[in-house]
Structure 1
Amino acid sequence: MLRSLVEQKRALGIFGSEHELPDNISVNQWSLLEKTITVLAPFEELTRQVSSSDASASDVIPAVTVLQKWLAKETDEDRGIRTMKNTLLAAVKKRLSDMENPLYGIASLLNPSNTNTAREAKVMVIQELQKMSGGDADKQVEHEEPPIRRPRRDQPSSSLDSV
């Protein structure tokens, strides 16, 4: 909705001046609207990615991590929206704090997007298997590392890939 409003900025200005409407949106307000769209765009993009029919649980950890890093990154363009970014970051951390659940790590192991997540997930899988097999935690099984796989690039790169 905000994007449509910004796209029609010129037409709204002309209409307002032709019909003598009071109080047009100021330049500063337009700037804040554009910055708000920029801040909210990753939420829309990640929501679409994890809601797609080919998304999997292994997409959750990278998506949340990227979103948190993007919101935490401060730039010169943040003037006027820093509080919004900090509030959104706190809300993401609060609502998506369940990333410590071993099942997300296991899902990432089955479809690793990066090698660090895969190693951590491997340890979690071994721990879960040890719990299920009666708690033989004293036995450490050495496993050979699987070959490193390249991540899938089926989808076009997103604006968050740089994060």
Structure 2
Amino acid sequence: MLGFTDEQFKEVKEKGEALYKSLGEVYCPYFKEKVSFNAKGLEHLKFKKKHHARSAEDQYVRFRILKLAPEILKQTKTIQGISEQKVFELNRSNQRNEYVMADALYYEFVAILEKTRVRVIVKQIGTAPKYFWSVIPFWKINKENGKRKLHYGSPEYD
């Protein structure tokens, strides 16, 4: 357990959401183009998948390190990983919502800023513009002993 109160969680989450909504886009030297911070990325910080919220501990850590994500994207010139997956994406057309299978590319950037090692994931569906998908501490907390452990999982859910 990380040891934070409900008030601390609420404050960190509100500050993180306000920061996220203020970001818009940042220029990434690796891509030589802008990466947007859209609603999909913010939703992913709060939910693993639709209707499956992340734990308070997970959200707390992600919102605390969120400020590092735009800085990493602004500075990075190298990539640490690329993953390609087929995913169901929401397609809105003619006032209908339906999920369609699409090719998703996940770009992984790892950096150490403010003595914190962080992974930033940028997602791209097909040829659509790239957008921020996730910021992930380069560790997970082992629920049995409360210690940090390295974590490598699926970028769709991390």
Larger radius of gyration between Structure 1 and Structure 2: 1
TM-score range, shorter chain: under 0.3
Give the TM-score normalised by the residue count of structure 2: 0.27
| Bigger strand fraction | 2
Give the TM-score normalised by the residue count of structure 1: 0.26
